[in-house]
Amino acid sequence: MKHNNLPPGCTASSMPAFSKAATRIETAMTVTLAKAASMPSFAGVKAMTSDEMVETYVKDSASG
């Protein structure tokens, strides 16, 4: 059984693999994912000293 969804007179080899718009979208997605992957996962997280951790633990324990 032959399934052919191309318009009459067109062959698969004459059709572009991707349209220009699809290629632009693919490029934009690749750039966005690359930027997201390059960001550190701990952005915005502040390191605490052991004294600060103990102080925070004591305060949290007293209020709970």
What's the pLDDT tens digit per position in 22-41? 788 888 899 888 887 777 77
Q: Give residue for tokens 């600060």.
A: 52
- Contact predicate 6/12, CB 8 Å: yes
Instruction: Please give the average per-residue pLDDT across 2-17, as a whole number.
Output: 62
d(CA 20, CA 27): 11
- pTM for the model stands at 0.35
pLDDT score of 49: 92
Model confidence at 7: pLDDT above 80? no
DSSP 45: P
- Contact predicate 10/19, CB 8 Å: no
